[in-house]
Amino acid sequence: MSQAALVNPSLLTWSRERAGLSTEQVARKLPVKRDRVQEWEAGETKPTFLQAQKWASVAHIPFGFLFLQKPPVEELPLPDLRTVGGLAPQRPSLELLDTVRDSIRKQDWYLEYLQHQEHQPLAFVGRFNSRSRVAEVVDDIRRTLGVNPDAARMDYDRYSRALIEAVEAAGILVMRSGIALGNTHRKLEVSEFRGFAISNTYAPVVFINSSDAPTARLFTLLHELAHIWIGSSGVSDGYTANGRDEERFCNAVAGEFLAPETQFRALWSADVNWEENLAPLATRFHISKLAIGRRALDLGYVSQAQYSAYYRMILKAFQDGKGGAGDYYRNATAKNSPRLSKAVLTEAISGRMLLREAGNLLGVQPAKLRTLASKITE
């Protein structure tokens, strides 16, 4: 008979609830009868070591946690800048916690990598603060990125790609994913957060929740870039109109970058239904109709209710129209940042890093690393 694991029953309950699982769900995943799960949580019987290890895997916690006397205190390792009804959310989800921690782990590796490359600090990180003039910050971001959609005659998609490429070229790691740790069963909810920034003078990170509608992500990118330019880290919802001063400032920078106020006001027509303005202005500024709607909200042309209803419609259309998982290698590059991916793959293929370690860092099967490297360099 297998040896019983002397786990703490209260930690079983805590880990299950923390992962948002019912006793029935845990029972199915182990698999055991539901009564057995309830007996373990009541302390009437103990799981075997194998069952306890499977429990830890199902609940997404280290195995050792189940033997603690009390649950560990878990907090976001970044400032929480989100607001719900004017108040910060009380408890971040396990998916958000794991995503932030994973991004910090990757940033730490990249910082160590840069030390051997003798890189200089990035001058634009923290160059301004939340009391700076919005126009000055916008101008500096434009100069740094050097993307001119008018000169290149870009549409929205090309403009978005060009901006992300320019941000990466400037030294910022742009990570994009809609799931936690590559697990398709662990979706990142847009209602919880849209992005976060980790400010660092050598390796700043911007993360974009790609569960959001694609047409909304460009605003999130610029919002998080504003955080880097003022040297601020934090998890953002990116759309709160009455949030913290820091968030309002970053919203203002994003809006002014994408659609300058003076030009926007000159082009907005009050003689037609507000939605009729979206398409022509979207074409003029090379951004999405949703981004134009967001800018109209900021400048007082539409109400919060009008914009929210329009956003929900766009988001629902995106969610309803989503197909399969997409291209494996493109998704892997996006979730890890092209810049970080290239650095890790260079180290692995040169033999300075074990393929197993590289695969673990990137969340990619070691056997697929060489194919990933060839895809990135195409």
Q: pLDDT (tens digit, 9 = 90+) per residue, 181-217? A: 998 889 999 989 999 999 999 999 999 999 999 999 9
Q: Residue 366: enclosing H or E segment and its boundaries? A: none
Q: What architecture is the 9-67 domain classified under in CATH?
A: Orthogonal Bundle (1.10)
Query: Band of the pLDDT at 74, cuts 50, 70, 90?
Result: confident
Query: Band of the pLDDT at 146, cuts 50, 70, 90?
Result: very high
**pLDDT of 84 above 70:** no
Give me the pLDDT at residue 243, please.
62
Rounded CA-CA distance 47/147 in Å is: 59
By CB atoms closer than 10 A (0-12, 13-18, 19+), residue 344 is buried
How is 100-138 classified by DSSP, letter by letter?
A: HHHHHHHHHHHHHHHHTTTPPPPTTTTSS-TTS-HHHHH
**Percent residues over pLDDT 70 in the chain:** 95
Query: Band of the pLDDT at 9, cuts 50, 70, 90?
Result: very high
pTM listed for this prediction: 0.89
Mean pLDDT for the stretch of residues 78-103? 81
Please answer whether residues 259 and 290 qualify as being in contact, where contact means their C-beta atoms are separated by less than 8 angstroms. Answer: no
> How high does pLDDT run on average in the chain?
92
Domain ranges in the chain are: 9-67, 94-321, 328-376
Most confident of 58-62, 79-83, 186-190, 195-199: 195-199
Rounded CA-CA distance 287/291 in Å is: 6
Give me the pLDDT at residue 241, please.
55
CA distances from 271 to 147, 274, 290, 301 (A): 33, 9, 20, 12
Q: In Å, how far from its chain's centre is CA 368?
A: 24
**pLDDT of 323 above 90:** no
Mean pLDDT for the stretch of residues 139-144? 98
**pLDDT of 117 above 90:** no
Q: Which residue has the higher pLDDT, 18 or 257?
A: 257
Mean pLDDT for the stretch of residues 314-341? 89
